Amino acid sequence: MRADASELTAPPAPADVCIVGSGAAGLSLAARCAALGLEVLVLEAGGPNADPAVQDAYAGQIADPRVHWPLDTYRIRALGGTTALWGGRSIPFDPIDFEPRPWVAHSGWPIGYDEVARYYPAAMEAAEAGAFDHTPSAPIVPGLEGEWLHTTIERFSRPTNFWTRYGQQLTAAANVRVLTHAPVTAVRLTADGHSVDHLEVRAPDGTNWKVRATNYVLAAGGLETARLLLASDDVLPDGPGNAGGWLGRGYMCHLAATFGMAHFTGDRKKIGFDYERDAEGIYIRRRLAPTPEAQRARQLLNSTVRLHIRDANDPAHGDPVLSLMFLAAFAVKYEYSRAAREADRSLGPYLRHVGNIARHPVQLFNFVRTWGVKRYLASRRIPSIALPSRDNRYPFEFVSEQSPNWDSRVALSAERDALGMRRLAVDWRVASADFDSARATYRLIRDELARTGTGTLDYDEAALEDALLDSAAYGGHHSGTTRMADSARDGVVDRDCRVHGVAGLYVASAAVTPTSSQANPTLTAIALALRLADHLKEQHA
């Protein structure tokens, strides 16, 4: 059943599992719990589609706007959550990510890779991203691989909006209720603080409903989950699970920058820059990464490099497709056009972009014709533009994990939203060790290209730190704000994603990841949600 809160005259009846949020983790969890026979209630703060009035609840304060996007971007408050923006990249974490690494502060998970990996196949199926097989078809650069560098791949979903994926199934299920426009404003604990009495939900008429369940799962994302726990401070002054002070701290995204120019010496037709498709039609793309041995020997963070297109904002590229991308920036969602929107859009560069298009109309027409089919008419969309380089030169798109940092945090401000909740204040910080790792990784790739004779890498090392900060916290990859640890002193949730010290209260989100890997967190968040569903079934039994 699906209903809007405005259609009800009383709070919904209790359930076995109440899930707050309807994004990738929340809906995957709901579908799995329903299949296991549990009574499920999903509470979604928004409606079927994004609404600016509802979205405003995500707005907040940023300590340094240069390094972090506005808080009401990269997140959607509606059915399907931020999967309405998701690019579909489906990549697992690596075994090394789960290990304690002496060179990475606060590293080490309380569970091992195998505990999560057994749920990756089901997570891939949930994301519609094909088989759990990330074996590359060939090296990204022939002759470059060895002890220190190797080729990895990323698989892509359709991309899948998870309400489109699961909405009909959940609406038809007799043991599932999905309630829209039902924002949770607080988790109300019992007087002793050891369990949940109810969730406080703001009804459309402005009254507060008490919603009860046997188990409660916060699946509202890496920022909103922390906000909700911090705001629930009436019984425990610092918020549930905050005995060690970690709630809202250790906030991670990814470090990323398109930086440096590689010039390969081999056959340009053998460079693995483009998208491939497997037998199921799944889009795949190759990447270059330091091996686990290199990470250990050289004390590197986990990172990867993709081959990128030339800078579309610089008309000197002479390419009509790139110039069209620049000119059309404001027709594309902010989350995918931020750099172009903030580039030099004065008359001079603008006219040079127009000139690029005027000189090559046939090339542009052919591209638009084929791109339109692959991007907008196919059931599986090609993820992005990949243009071959005529001179075998490619910019590097570098993405690295961010180490957990106590001083990188989200907190509550004094300002309140329309629901009366205190808004978030974000202070995202990068440790000096993260910059050191990025510099060392670039040196490693540069030296290996030279040693193997496969190419050169030109870049200004002194400018790398600024390039990483200018690119800001990467996309919507907010992680770590309710980190997992075996003890309440070291984290917010335990190995079963249960909030320390509070029976029946769980988190299903990238918020629980103690480290951030090189991978975007979506697939791992889904896998952890599926694992949590099995745990809830065991508890119910």
Mean pLDDT, residues 411-424: 97
Structure tokens at 481: 């704000």
In this predicted model, what pLDDT tens digit does every residue of 160-188 receive, in sequence order?
A: 999 999 999 999 999 999 999 999 999 99
User: Does the domain made of 2-51+75-139+154-251+476-540 have the CATH classification 3.50.50.60?
Assistant: yes
- What is the predicted pLDDT for the residue at 154? 97
Burial track 423-461 (b if 16+ CB lie within 10 A, e otherwise)? bbbbbbbbbeebbebbebbbebbbebbeebebbebebee
Closest CA to 537 of 24, 229, 175: 175
Across residues 80-94, what is the average pLDDT? 95
Tell me the C-alpha distance between 438 and 446, whole Å. 12
3-state secondary structure of 33: helix
The pLDDT value recorded for residue 90 is 97
- What's 117's DSSP letter? H
Share of the chain above pLDDT 70, in %: 99
Rounded CA-CA distance 124/147 in Å is 29
Residue 340 has pLDDT above 80, yes or no: no
Measuring CA to CA, which residue among 443, 182, 176, 194 is closest to residue 294? 443
Long-range contacts, stretch 374-381, CB < 8 angstroms, 24+ apart = 379/158, 380/156, 380/158, 380/281, 380/282, 380/283, 381/88, 381/158, 381/159
Buried b (16+ CB within 10 A) or exposed e, 78-92: bbbbbbbbbbbbbbb
**Is pLDDT above 80 for 536?**
yes
Extract the tokens encoding 148: 């220190």
Task: Over range 364-383, report the average pLDDT.
Answer: 84
Predicted confidence band of residue 335 (pLDDT cuts 50, 70, 90): low
pLDDT tens column, 116-142: 999 999 999 999 999 999 999 999 999
Rounded Cα–Cα distance for residues 250 and 491 (Å): 10
Q: Is the pTM of this model over 0.85?
A: yes
pLDDT tens for each residue of 471-523? 888 878 999 999 999 999 999 999 999 999 999 999 999 999 999 999 999 99
